[in-house]
A and B are shown apart, each in its own frame.
Chain A
Amino acid sequence: MNTILECKGLRKNYGPFEALSGVELNLDRGKIIGLLGPNGSGKTTLIKLANGLLAKTDGELKIAGMEVGIETKKIVSYLPERTYLNNWMKVSQIIAYFKDFYDNFSEAKAYDMLKRLDIDPSAKLSTLSKGTKEKVQLILVMSRDADLYFLDEPIAGVDPAARDYILNTIITNYNPQATIVISTHLISDIEQILDEVVFIQKGKIVLHKTVDEIRSIEGKSVDALFREVFKC
């Protein structure tokens, strides 16, 4: 089976507000996919549903053929928009914590990436800058050998050099069996590492194409197309 994520008529309401109104989406394994849309279009809602942090209102959402639950959480690695790590912990303690928590967490990989980014494992989280905290969090998420990764705004808070390193980390950790979904507004920074893009607008998928399809058919970058489609 090559499909990793499948949505059929997926709906999510917050009270009277429809955040997702019938999402139809199939994502294959082995892809790096950009989930792009303006603010409030439903990106984070979709990601949270896939991680079991929200309950769907209606429709279908399956990961590797399974309903979202304990089994899918084992194979999904999620980087939320906001940091949830305890500030009093040391980096090394958080790594031990993740190792306890997830069978597929590689301590060696985490320490290797920390070293390359010049982050001291004995440092307390509270002493790290916002950008460095984001890097630590991304390292934790990418050190899991998962089938599906969700990175919600992974590069928003870091400087351009670190951004390059993060993109490089995503490329070099790439596993042909795994899929990485990246949600971001910074399209031009990431579009050349993407296989496919999914445009979401008002809770619906409005476009799902490969980057090179867009470039060869439209003769423009994904960034330019985005500005056109979502023109205010």
Chain B
Amino acid sequence: MWKIEGNRPVYTQLLEQIENRIISGEYPLGSKLPSVRELAAEAAVNPNTMQKALMELERNGLVYTQRTVGRYITEDAEKLKEIKANNAKELISEFLSKMKNIGLNKEDTIALIENF
């Protein structure tokens, strides 16, 4: 399921969601991506916007184009690990800052997680 919120650029949201699909293995490494048109129709977005998101993923090295055949997910497992680690870092720092807002420091939080 694609979910597009109202207040952020559509293309950033597409980018994140495709990235998540790759990280989660829904789009396996080395597999072929559906065409821009199919993806756009599925997400109910403008094909130009979907194209823009895919080009950005290409620039990041998560996706590559096989001329005339289509787009594929990278086979580079290291690349994926790297992105996963980055995303995890972002989530953790977001989480820690929220915990800080309710008066818990890093050590308190870790203790809580261990007993979770």
Contact = CB atoms under 8 A, between A and B. Distances in A.
Interface stretch (B20-28, B38-46, B71-79, B80-88): B38-46
Contacts of A211: 9-10, 46, 49
B60 to A, nearest CB: 18
B41 A168 contact: yes
Most chain B C-beta atoms within 10 Å of own C-beta, residue among A32, A193, A221: A193
Given A212-B11, A212-B49, A171 B6 contact: no
A164 B2 CA distance: 14
B49 A215 contact: no
Contacts of B7: 215, 219-221, 224
A192 B4 contact: yes
A171 B44 contact: yes
B105 interface: no
B45 A212 contact: no
Contacts of B12: 216
Interface string A157-177: 000000010011001101000
B44 A215 contact: no
B6 A188 contact: yes
Interface of A: 30-32, 164, 167-168, 171-172, 174, 188, 191-195, 211-212, 215-216, 219-221, 223-224
Q: List the 8 shortest-distance A-B pairs measured between CB atoms, nearest first.
A: A221-B6, A212-B9, A215-B9, A216-B9, A193-B46, A192-B45, A171-B41, A174-B47
